[in-house]
Amino acid sequence: MTDNIKQAPSENPEKNTSQWVTGDEPMTGAQRSYLHTLAQEADQEVPEDATKAQASELIDDLRQQTGRGES
């Protein structure tokens, strides 16, 4: 075999939520559940009509606030 075979990346690159094809659809049940858990810990309110993209961004923000975003 040759040494110039490209290896697949080990992780999927993250796509900006504004580029999500389904980003404007309602958030998923899993997102809603996790978002409510994080929001409760951070003493924040969750918009019930958030889209998938908005929920993802809120989850990222709340994970930082609650310390759940740290490894």
> By C-alpha distance, which of 58, 62, 37 is closest to 47?
58
Would you state the torsion angle of the CA atoms of residues 57, 62, 67, 71, taken in this order, to the nearest 10 degrees? -20
Question: Which pLDDT score, from 0 to 100, does residue 69 have?
Answer: 72
Question: Which pLDDT score, from 0 to 100, does residue 45 have?
Answer: 92
Question: Which pLDDT score, from 0 to 100, does residue 14 have?
Answer: 67
Other beta carbons within 10 Å of 16: 8
Q: What is the pTM of this model?
A: 0.70
Question: Helix 52-66 vs helix 29-42: angle between axes, to the nearest 10 degrees?
Answer: 30
**What span, in angstroms and rounded, lies between the C-alpha atoms of 51 and 31?**
10
Task: List per-block mean pLDDT (blocks of 10 residues) for the chain, which spans 71 residues.
Answer: 53 64 87 95 92 93 87 55
